[in-house]
Amino acid sequence: MAQEFYTGKKASDKSAGLKRKFDDDEDDLGFEMVSASGEISKKVSKVERIVDKWALEEAPSGKAGRSQTIEFKDKCERQAKNDEPSPTGLIELYLGRCPPNITDEHVKTHYASLGNAAVTRIKWITGSDGKFKRIGYVQFSSQELAEQASKMPGPTVEGQAVKIVKLNEVRDQKAPQYQRNIMALFECPKTITDDHITQHYKPLGEGAIVNIKWLSNKDGTFKGMALISFLTAGLVQQAGDMDPPIVDGQECRVKVNEESLSTNPNEGCDMVVSRFPPSIMDEDLQKHYMWLGTDAVQGITWLTNPDGSKKGTAFIRFKNPQLCLQALKLKPPVVDGQTLSVMLAGDTKGKGKGKGKGKGKGK
């Protein structure tokens, strides 16, 4: 149910100022400034929403309260700045084993044929000692330009060419896998569990749900809400189109968090492979996953040292998220007697994908 808080000199004087409308069930969605006549005055930022609600509910009165509110606002603004997402829709070019004396001007001149504004950013990687690691990232203004650049020979400096040139996709959000592609569940009964959720959305495929987070009130009682993270933006949208779960005769209410949806078209398609012997080849991985289809594996990327040797980590891109999930269910590849370690790229919580056995959230 929505609540109204008035900002006039007196709470009872509704015509003296503006009123702020909060929604208990969807307080994460923000609120609007509404005049006494009911017209929307302006949208209030997320930081203002958090600070004002804290001031109304928790801050002490008087001068001490005002001082603590200012400190709390500063803290929220710093956190909001740190949480700003990285740019989306851009593609980087990875330059490896670069000439030691390469500069920005060498790169810009080399790719000038793509347009004066084609290159938007260049970053060179240095070690903790400040020495150039001969690695660079070149960001382009569009995916098309980056793909064209990847097909060109690498820049050459005094007769020495860049040895490795390949596309490197910019991560579209800083949030880990379990904080993306979220659907909120409201008005849940106290008896609901993880199993109810996973069984209800089982038609989307095993592994479609990455994480389930149950929300509680300050006193520890269940708030009747959950945040469900799905593997891809497509899956969470499909879940939103399904009928909501019904538990003990009570129908839950759902809402897709549009801001959390990933824009990466290859979301959920990449597997991380590690702990492999130096002798491993592309063919070892392709052969292992061949039964999923001859075109199931779209590409394999090895992270390498400056001398070209493998670092011990690789990325396998599958044709779609469903094939990637099937691959994760298989026994890991074994090469020269060594069992490899595999996991979904971006899965910072390890193998757990929201399959835990829920026990309820308290009464």
Q: What is the pLDDT of residue 179?
A: 67
Does CATH number 3.30.70.330 belong to domain 177-260? yes
**Residue 19: what are its φ and ψ, rounded to 5°?**
-110, 145
Span 87-97, average pLDDT: 70
The structural architecture, per CATH, of the domain 91-169 is 2-Layer Sandwich (3.30)
What tokens were used for 184? Answer: 């909120």
Supply the mean pLDDT for the chain. 74
Quick check: 248 pLDDT over 80?
A: yes
Q: What is the pLDDT of residue 210?
A: 82
Q: Which of 154, 160, 161, 142 is nearest to 94 (CA)?
A: 154
Task: Express each pLDDT in 138-183 by its tens digit.
Answer: 988 888 888 889 888 889 998 888 887 887 754 444 445 556 788 9
**DSSP-derived 3-state class of residue 196:** helix
Q: Which of 110, 130, 132 is nearest to 119 (CA)?
A: 110
Say if CB 183 and CB 204 are below 8 A apart. Answer: no
Where are the chain's structural domains?
A: 2-82, 91-169, 177-260, 270-344
Q: What is the pLDDT of residue 227?
A: 92
* pTM of model > 0.75: no
Say if CB 269 and CB 321 are below 8 A apart. Answer: yes
Considering only 89-98, 105-114, 118-127, which range has the smallest mean pLDDT? Answer: 89-98
**Residue 29: what are its φ and ψ, rounded to 5°?**
-90, 0
Neighbouring residues of 85: CB distance < 8 A, sequence distance ≥ 6: 172, 173, 174, 175
Instruction: Determine the Cα–Cα distance for residues 178 and 241; give it in Å rounded to an integer.
Output: 21
Q: What is the pLDDT of residue 265?
A: 67
Instruction: Determine the Cα–Cα distance for residues 53 and 77; give it in Å rounded to an integer.
Output: 15
Fold observed for domain 270-344 = Alpha-Beta Plaits (3.30.70)
Q: What is the pLDDT of residue 11?
A: 37
Task: Express each pLDDT in 179-230 by its tens digit.
Answer: 678 899 999 999 999 999 999 998 887 778 888 989 988 788 899 999 998 8
Quick check: 42 pLDDT over 80?
A: no
Sheet containing strand 209-216, edge to edge, reads 209-216, 222-230, 182-186, 253-256
